[in-house]
């Protein structure tokens, strides 16, 4: 059975490095995996009143349904002020509610952070991992994915060098291994 993989870019910018990197990663999955880039830019800020009153915005409902139908999630994020962008945190909050109905529960995850600078989004990577632990998402531990100097890493026309492709493939391989290992457990 084909595994359905959500790929979420933490950046809303049209030409974002995260989205470009997410598209490169999507192309590295083997047969038997279907990837879908999920848009988080239209999600209103999470407000519990919507769920309490039984009237969540359509964007909440459609987003929750999209994620619920997936077997696993890849998060590709930049770092904003040593953490994840607000849009990504909001998406995590929307998907985790109403309490007891989290669409994230048990879904394997891969965290790939990136930055034009040298640190590769280290702070964002670890903040995101903290949240995923609470959301009960088993996460790829090795290899870790901090992509510094992402502009050079992606190369011209988003065609990474052979060495960089090998590294990205190792991330996808570790992730698909985790997905297979956890299949049927969530």
- Distance, in Å, from the CA atom of 169 to the CA atom of 147, rounded to the nearest integer, reads 14
Residue among 90, 77, 85, 2 nearest 48 (CA): 90
What is the band of 186 on the pLDDT scale with cuts at 50, 70, 90? low
Mean pLDDT of the chain: 95
What fold, for 3-182? Rossmann fold (3.40.50)
- Whole-prediction pTM value? 0.96
């Amino acid at each position: 059975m084909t595994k359905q993989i959500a790929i979420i870019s933490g950046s809303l910018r049209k030409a974002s490095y995260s989205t470009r990197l997410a598209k490169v990663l999507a192309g590295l999955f083997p047969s038997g995996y279907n990837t879908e880039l999920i848009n988080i830019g239209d999600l209103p800020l999470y407000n519990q009143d919507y769920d309490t009153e039984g009237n969540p915005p359509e964007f909440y409902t459609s987003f929750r349904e999209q994620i619920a139908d997936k077997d696993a999630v890849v998060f590709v994020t930049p770092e904003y002020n040593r953490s994840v962008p607000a849009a990504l945190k909001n998406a995590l909050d929307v998907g985790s509610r109403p309490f007891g109905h989290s669409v994230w529960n048990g879904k394997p995850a891969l965290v790939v952070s990136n930055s034009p600078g040298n640190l590769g989004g280290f702070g964002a990577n670890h903040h995101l991992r903290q949240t995923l632990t609470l959301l009960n998402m088993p996460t790829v531990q090795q290899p870790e994915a901090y992509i510094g100097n992402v502009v050079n890493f992606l190369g011209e026309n988003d065609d990474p060098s052979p060495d960089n492709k090998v590294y990205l493939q190792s991330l996808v391989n570790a992730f698909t291994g985790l997905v297979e290992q956890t299949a049927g457990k969530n």
